[in-house]
Structure 1
Amino acid sequence: MEDHGDHDSVRRGYDAVAEDYFAGFRDELAGKPLDRALLTSLIEQTGRDAPIADLGCGPGHVAGWLADHGVRAVGVDLSAAMVEVGRREYPAVEFREGDLLALPAAAGEFGAAVAFYSIIHLHPTELSRAFEQVHRALRPAGLFLLSFHIGTEIRHLDEWWGHSVDIDFRFLEPSDVAGALEAAGFTVETRAERVPYAGEVDTRRAYLLARRADA
């Protein structure tokens, strides 16, 4: 695995902003009908007997939404502070601290996985390793739903909610992400794009729904 040295700075940055991030994003799904529709579809196709992982879960608001809809949700995040907030706010969710490149999960543990805007902190050469980890952690025919900002730019933050940070946000081309998913053993079943909702950062967003192809 190639190490680009970015993960420690990402961890420290999210540790610094954890409380502010939760306050700013805790209710965001209320204004995101497409996200809710895709998550609902994921639940319906997965069934209630299998846990669903929220990868790069932050303070756990997506995992909490899943739990509210009858799912055994497991949130995984790099930031210990984010995990601490999640455990405090969403006691129905199991939270684990961990990296997308070395998921703290058993083989075949999850029925499905979600990664909303978490792969944007990976170097492009790390996508394949991350997707291989998701593939390993999913059951046969398991679904993987992910979203990201579309493009090729890198936006850097050195200040966020009044905290000093050092975080890159990488935009990605859907074709590149789909190619990495397919190389890791997934079949991409659904692709969608949208413009930002009111109040969001002005970027186009992509959603890919992929399935383990070895069923």
Structure 2
Amino acid sequence: MSRSEHPTRPAVHGFWEGTGATKTFTHPLDPALLERYVPRDARILDYGCGYGRLTARLAELGYRDVHGVDPSHALIERGRREHPGLPLRQFDALPLPFEDGTFDAALLFVVLGVVTDDADQGALLAELARLVRPSGVLHLSDVPLQSDAHHVRRYDEAAAAEPGRPYGVFTTPDGGLFRHHRPEELRELLWAHGFAVEEEHQKETATLHRGERTRSVQLVARRQSGPGQGR
């Protein structure tokens, strides 16, 4: 059976067709970090591109073959208005219509933080492992569990309200559903799907919510191949 006979639709919260589609995304791209791993002529997938903020930034930096994909109709429509001519496409199901090993690199910026279900995260990482060629790169940026009292209270209240959810999943007052991970969870998830982390950094980052800041984590992982490597 072909993959296309059984499409997977990771849960996309309705927030991203309404309020979320008006937000200003904030996780910064470090051009020097990217350049160490991804040459300018690489073919890059920006998965969860939103309104194309990073897709456009990559084009400005001279990356000539970048493809932005997002499940949200509203975000892609916004991106087409703000960045006319950028290759932004909306797909709400996996697999994506690209051949195995199509891309030299993929970006996954604050996507696992909004795809909160374990099974949905696994399906997405499996698809990226299919699409990124062996020895290619996955560059991930997301939010780890925070240790300040505000976030800990938020995590604990959400866990008490819905005990079946992973710890770190919470809802914001404006209706957003998010998940913060332990950094080791991110590394383990990448390794389980064939990506070995080569570089990791943490920094302070503004959030979608005005006035709030969090620690973010950025990982660069290499797609492995051969027995005993990840998958």
Query: Into which bin does the TM-score normalised by the smaller protein fall?
Result: 0.7 to 0.9
Aligned equivalent of 2:17: 15
Counterparts in 2 of 1:49-198, with a 5 A limit? Answer: 49-71=41-63, 72-99=65-92, 101-122=94-115, 123-151=117-145, 152-157=167-172, 159=174, 165=175, 167-197=176-206
Superposition TM-score, scaled by structure 2 size: 0.74
1:184 counterpart letter in structure 2: H
Structure 1 residue 181, shift from structure 2 partner = 0.8
Separation in structure 1 between the aligned mates of residue 35 and residue 86 of structure 2, nearest angstrom: 15
Contact 1:42–1:143 (CA under 8 A) maintained in structure 2? no
Structure 1 residue 18, shift from structure 2 partner = 5.8
Greater shift in the superposed pair: 93-102 or 74-83: 93-102
1:130 counterpart letter in structure 2: L
Give per-residue Cα distances to partners, 1:83-131, cap 9 Å, x unaligned: 1111222234211212485334321111111111111122133322211
Mark the structure with the bigger radius of gyration: 2
Contact 2:202–2:218 (CA under 8 A) maintained in structure 1? yes
Structure 1 residue 205, shift from structure 2 partner = 1.1
Alignment coverage as a number of residue pairs: 195
Q: Does structure 1 residue 214 correspond to structure 2 residue 216? A: no
Separation in structure 2 between the aligned mates of residue 98 and residue 200 of structure 1, nearest angstrom: 32
Sequence identity (%): 29
Structure that is richer in helix per residue: 1
Give per-residue Cα distances to partners, 1:8-27, cap 9 Å, x unaligned: 4x1x3212136622xx34xx
Structure 1 residue 183, shift from structure 2 partner = 1.1
| RMSD between superposed Cα atoms in Å | 2.7
Contact 1:18–1:85 (CA under 8 A) maintained in structure 2? no
Structure 1 residue 47, shift from structure 2 partner = 2.0
Structure 1 residue 57, shift from structure 2 partner = 0.9
**Unmatched runs of 5 consecutive residues or more in structure 2:** 1-5, 146-166, 227-231
**Unmatched runs of 5 consecutive residues or more in structure 1:** 30-34, 160-164
Quickly say closer, same or farther: Cα 1:6–1:55, change in 2 above 3 A.
Answer: closer
Separation in structure 2 between the aligned mates of residue 125 and residue 191 of structure 1, nearest angstrom: 25
Superposition TM-score, scaled by structure 1 size: 0.78
Structure 1 residue 201, shift from structure 2 partner = 2.8
Counterparts in 2 of 1:35-54, with a 5 A limit? Answer: 35-37=28-30, 39-54=31-46
Contact 1:86–1:95 (CA under 8 A) maintained in structure 2? yes
Quickly say closer, same or farther: Cα 1:45–1:202, change in 2 above 3 A.
Answer: closer
Contact 1:128–1:181 (CA under 8 A) maintained in structure 2? no
Contact 2:170–2:178 (CA under 8 A) maintained in structure 1? yes
